[in-house]
A and B are shown apart, each in its own frame.
Chain A
């Protein structure tokens, strides 16, 4: 052992079979986190360490070490964390809250590290365990030349005393991950899958090698920073406590020690790279979210309109079509914020160009839409059409900006435009050059109300192996695609983000939607779940998929409303709108072969239902926006599993038919055709839930049958919370920015409640640079509702005021309600509804930005 600095320990471990030596670095980090890196001590070729993911070099905290015996080293760090490193056989045990044993690394001794080797060793020595496929692999008609030979790493990470693990997106599978005993392992490899299967561990468009585990006591996370193809096997075990070292055994101290503990063994394998593992030791769910967010970053507050309703289709055909769809929303009085243009808007899928026959005046089109406070989004995919007359291609070709084949020539493949090439974003010069293509000067026809969509960025290569790059394709810096595959898509949307940021000189918040993603994508893009289908089973799959993305840091997530492929029947699309109106990213999108499905095309009754769902979304935007602010600050995803809010409620651990929006709304989307009742679990002992439509209260810790009709979106506000809403109707979110606020106060069993409201201009960085924002805390206690500032440094001019206060669960009709804001005291009118025990206070009146106290007597 060598102490490099306090908090950084270094060891050498040896493969006893072949004497290959490895360096092990242990970093004790702030916020109950620990990082362990293992790399070859003297590799014949430098192994790739992933760049572009970690936001800041993690801060070390001091560690106090002591030798337990000749074989075991103990280290204390942070307030309550410790590790035990066992030298032979190598193993690492982790403890949180002093004595809670949570993670054990390599206790199943599956650690396997294929060091780089020469194909034929010069001394004639036969390489150890040489197998077929080590130096060349064939898949269908594709051959992977594997010039550097075998390089994989595998290790077992064991979650002790846990029965549920989550995360490692992207898979169309349950939220609580399944045992892979009878299936393939969960695979991490960014690919464009045509009509993907659900309930399947197969790889999809993006990868985040990050897993969380949760039980009644603790939450922990494990993140392996590796961008190569990965496979993860999951086994539910019983851990016999008899085999544990006596020192460890003691750590179960206060809890009853049984002979067996549940344990989940996860066996991780990556094709190349190094072992670079982060362990987040919680102990609460919020802690784990924050700990991961510190390393990989959080989603910066999106523009307000980005969390409103988006209308997309492959394709809106021309300027008239856009005009008519916009007019349709006006005519049917359905709020909408963004109109999207898919690939057909370009001149032959040459991105940054327009099909001028169909879009002769794109600036005017965008300006006309902007009159309604609305934005537009165009698509820009990473494949560049091979055409010397296409300026992007010609420039990039001249500058040698394309990804290379193994033989050094430009890699060429097929995608939408036919023969295409792909930009090498790994080169900072190319990254910047690509970003600058989004400047108004270079992207002709773009305006400040135009934003971007990066699709097909796995990348999708129609004639490539598994419809993507061959593994032996070469990127800048002699990087093999094998090592970096899973971050290619992220680099594209990061460059797009930079482009949009630069075009406004850092003033306006960009918006980008991406299909491919990696850990860290949350910093620059929203993510959607790709090409789903118009089937009830796909609607049902949305919640687990979005939860998996949310807990692994991707906050702005959604699925195509109605399903991308095929035509939804009216019931399915209505239910889908209702579900999506309570999911973070809310966009209708459809395949070019499907029938038109703008909200008014399913009959008057369904138009009304869809309008209601979208309107409901808009009423909750102040709450959503506040949650996204908290996501930026605290890495707390807006969409949460029930256990993140009720960590001790074991009934919630496997729930993925329902979810939370923030800590105050419980959402149970209806995902079956023709149901008249649904069985809903209301979490939390001693918790009351109020139906947001009927105000009827329900008790927590119970599963209840709730009667539903086509109007129903079962959503409940938690007793003890205060939610700000805008109940006025507007055409788009940005036109409502100064509208008054209604506070919905739902009392808990102690007649208390609290909530927050964040507000700013909705689109610039002034909230950061000039502290132009309002952040309020509302607290109801002892018959007083107070509004106070959570951050007095923030100032924001707004005419918004408190229009109405609704208090649910108030036991009696108040005699008098008065409100004091500074010197003034007013007596607003109020009403009381006996049956529902609701007080409604009419026009309390104070400005959003002032401190006030409302007293009920």
Chain B
């Protein structure tokens, strides 16, 4: 982590949405595809901690339920996230966190695409390309420093 100070020292904090009590579908259980919807995906990612601030991705409106697209027939999920600032270098970490969390929580047959909201980041195309190159993601996740950062962000979301 940079010692030069936070990239975004004053993020806007949003109120968390009201939560319904719901039993998450477990990967190991006999599971019904119908349970996988926007709400379920959001349930898995809303409490991921932002890498820089002691707030969740939901509180910073980095992820919202509306920015999750699910196609059950194709077993496909696309999550669009909005970094708090345009030049956010933490965007890669956030993307990795989303990737890791969803691959752990969703059944293995699901295809997940992660992207930044159009217009929300200075190097949008480059970032999206990197986040969706599974070889690059796999190599990044063999870096112990990165893994530690990701694990810290994910800890509160389980």
Indicate, yes or no, whether A interacts with B: no
